[in-house]
Amino acid sequence: MAEKTNAQVLIGGKIFTLSGYESEEYLQKVAAYINGKLNELKESESFLKQPYDIQATLTELNIADDYFKAKKQLDILETEIETKDKEIYDLKHELISAQIKVESDEKTIAELREELSEIQQKVIKLEAELEDYKELLDEK
């Protein structure tokens, strides 16, 4: 099991100690995200006029909104991945079927070429016999 990490972070001008099994870099990244959200909200004068507890709730709501939007996007992407995986599976199946058909067709072509060669040899033999018969008839 991973070791627990403690990291001191600055959020909203106050130092907090965060603990978790993630890296310190990750914990700092979370703090930076929260600070970014706070700075974004502090750009609004109506936010700044609210009591601290309302500011905290609005910040939490904004973070929750980001989370649910990201989760929705993730769900969409996972659905797209499933669809693409199914398409890839179907294409692989079609490819295998086409390869089997090509191999069968190549075998048929080889058999037909062999048959054609035999027929051509028979034609040559029959033409030679025909010439022999013509010569015999001419001699008579």
- Convert the pLDDT of each residue in 61-97 to its tens digit: 999 999 999 999 999 999 999 999 999 999 999 999 9
Residue 98 domain flag: yes
| Number of domains into which the chain is organized | 1
Q: What is the pTM of this model?
A: 0.65
pLDDT of amino acid 78 = 98
Domain extent at residue 109: 44-139
Residue 31 domain flag: no
CB-based contact 38:12 (threshold 8 Å): yes
CB-based contact 59:37 (threshold 8 Å): yes
Q: Which amino acid is at 73?
A: Q
Residue 10 domain flag: no
> What is the rounded distance in angstroms from the CA atom of residue 7 to the CA atom of residue 20?
9
pLDDT at 1 over 80: no
Residue 15 domain flag: no
Residue 134 domain flag: yes
